Structure 1
Amino acid sequence: MKPSLYNLARAKISLATALRTNGTVNGTTVDLHENKDSSRSAMLIVLSGTITDGSHAITLQESDNNSAWSTVAAADLQGSAPTITDTADDRIYEVGYLGAKRYLRAVSTVSGATTGGTVSALILRGFPRRTPISHT
């Protein structure tokens, strides 16, 4: 098999693209062991569109059981989870995950917004124990 990122990684949406205003939204859970692939690495990718106002903090949460969630410790991140404002919009932010939990999700917390902004997040899981990674 020819080396290919397609065979080693899979992107899963956690926060669908949406106009976000004040409040907190928990993203959809991403199972790093989906289809028994047992991904050994993950990365949070945040895509920001136009932000007109407010502070849009995106964090990464982890869980052993898909029930009890906690924010990933800074020591288990490569880079920093972004807080996006109107001066840092229309960008892609990447944050590596070094932890060992099975489940991940992105969380959006917006404050100080009147009209808000468009943000989405996905989790790229990769380096599965079994290749190629399933794309079903």
Structure 2
Amino acid sequence: MSRTDIKNNVAVAESIRADQHTATVTGENVDLAGFDAAAVVFQVGTVANNDFTFEVQEADDDGTGSPDTYSAVASDDLDGTAPDAPSANTVTTVGYHGIKRWLRVVATSGGTGDVNMCVSVLEAKPRTLPV
């Protein structure tokens, strides 16, 4: 059996857990160590009186120090644009080709209702191929 198929050459990490969100959410840290590429997948379900905006952030460390070391990814390091007030039932994928080790997504609430959403990071181009 070949280990060069797609399943064995990507890892999927969750930054924002699938849920009904009503307030700003700072996603979980995703460690890109061992990978040379990533894609951020934004999945939006129902939208009720709330427009979220998304920002992909990067850091050299996991942001647990003081102050938080995350900052917005420069547009030159993204292939595509994070959704701004996304429509219901949409999936958007944005490529990341920056050089930082850590990624996360911040979803900022713009209303009083809720949005069903999740954000995943696909880590790709592993530096060490599986055997």
TM-score, normalization: structure 1?
Answer: 0.86
Q: Would you say 1:75 and 2:76 are equivalent positions?
A: yes
**Matched positions, count:** 125
Shift of 1:47: 0.6
Distance in 2 of aligned mates of 1:83 and 1:119 = 13
Residue 75 of structure 1 aligns to a residue whose secondary structure is: helix
Which residue pairs with 1:21 in the alignment?
Answer: 22
Distance in 2 of aligned mates of 1:2 and 1:26 = 35
What is the RMSD of the two structures over their aligned residues, measured on CA atoms? Answer: 1.5
CA deviation profile, 1:40-78 (whole Å, cap 9, x unmatched): 000000110100122111111100011210010111000
Which residue pairs with 2:127 in the alignment?
Answer: 129
CA contact (8 A) 1:21 1:111 kept: no
Of 113, 118, 121, 1:120 maps to 118
Which residue pairs with 1:32 in the alignment?
Answer: 32
Task: Give unpaired runs (5+ residues) of structure 2.
Answer: 64-68
CA contact (8 A) 1:25 1:107 kept: yes
Task: Give unpaired runs (5+ residues) of structure 1.
Answer: none
Residue 80 of structure 1 aligns to a residue whose secondary structure is: coil
Amino acid at match of 2:51: S
CA contact (8 A) 1:48 1:118 kept: yes
Of 40, 45, 51, 1:44 maps to 40
Shift of 1:2: 5.0
